[in-house]
Structures are given as structure tokens and as C-alpha cells.
Amino acid sequence: MSIGATHIDHIVVASNNSAATAKLFSENLGIEIKRVMSRPGTGAHMEFAKLQEIVLEFAGPGQPKEGEEPKARLGGFVLAVGDIDAAVATLRKRGVDVGDAHPAVQPGAKIAGIRAGTHGVPLALIQYNAMPAGNDPAGS
């Protein structure tokens, strides 16, 4: 039984200085940062670039703690699915430790993180248009 994954939606690069990491990738790889956002009250800073069809998301605090050098790591792969609730239920039946689907930063989308059962590969699922317009707690 498939979970209905259709493609890699985006790859997350986690960093203790997401702004510096995004700038480094942009300058060294020649990719353009298309969107910058912060989540109020969380200190989270995200910058997004697109490499053909795959989005690169640079996430973490906008600046490191004082005296800390910027460090980045693979934050994970995010797979697009057509029905996130069914995908989560299927994975749970298989014994995979997956969190509940919740609003994503993308308007109308829901996301669920897979916490274990991937041999250490960080993985999440996302479904777009998962919530009716106006019922999106993540906001636009």
C-alpha cells in the first residue's frame, strides 16, 4: 500500500544562521532567494530558493548565538502527498513514528513530520490545499 507520495516538494537546510547559509548557497551556487519570511514569536527565519522544480528551504534562527560560527545540516526531505491524513494513517499502521498533520507555513497546506523509522533520514509529508480558504491558522 502506497502513501501516495508524488514528488520531492522541498529540501530543508537547517542552520543556526539561516540568513548566512542562504546567502552562501545563493552566492556560491548562483541560485536566487525568492522568498524570505520570519515566524513571529518563534525566532524562526526562513529563506527559499527554487532549483528547477525543487524548493530549497533554509531554516533556523536568522543569526547565530554570539560567538557561534554558522553551521548547517540537512534538515530533511519533504514529500508531497495527495491525502496527508491517509498517508499518516498508513505509516502508523506500518509502525512508523509520524506526528499529526498540522498547518504548514504554506497557506492552506498541512505537514506531518516522520520522527523515526527512516534509518535517520529526516523526512516529512506535505499536502497543499488541505484546508479550506479562511480556515488556515498558519495565515497567508
3-state secondary structure 107-136: CCCEEEEEEECCCCCCEEEEECCCCCCCCC
Residue 40, pLDDT score: 79
Tens digit of each residue's pLDDT (9 = 90 or more) over 95-110:
999 999 999 988 899 9
Hey, what's the torsion of the CAs at 12, 18, 24, 30, to 10 degrees?
50
In DSSP terms, which residues pair with 54 in a beta bridge? 51
Cell numbers standing for residue 85? 491524513
Is 0.85 surpassed by the pTM of this model? no
The CA-atom distances, in angstroms, between 41 and each of 15, 44, 72, 101, 108 are 18, 8, 22, 21, 21
Homologous superfamily of domain range 5-127: 2,3-Dihydroxybiphenyl 1,2-Dioxygenase, domain 1 (3.10.180.10)
Q: Where are the domains of the chain?
A: 5-127
Asked if residues 10 and 53 have their Cβ atoms less than 8 Å apart, the reply is no
pLDDT at site 137: 46
What confidence tens digit (pLDDT) does each residue in 111-123 have? 999 998 888 899 9
Answer whether 64's CB lies under 8 Å from 33's CB: no
Locus of grid cell 542552520: 15
pLDDT at position 111, please? 96
Ranges of beta strands (E only) in the chain are 5-15, 33-39, 44-51, 54-61, 72-81, 97-98, 102-103, 110-116, 123-127
Q: What local confidence, expressed as pLDDT, does residue 51 receive?
A: 87
Q: What is the pLDDT along the chain (140 residues), one digit of tens a residue?
A: 689 999 999 999 999 999 999 999 999 999 999 999 988 777 789 999 998 889 999 999 877 788 888 899 999 999 999 999 999 999 999 999 999 999 998 889 999 999 988 888 999 999 999 887 655 444 43
Q: At 96, which amino acid appears?
A: V
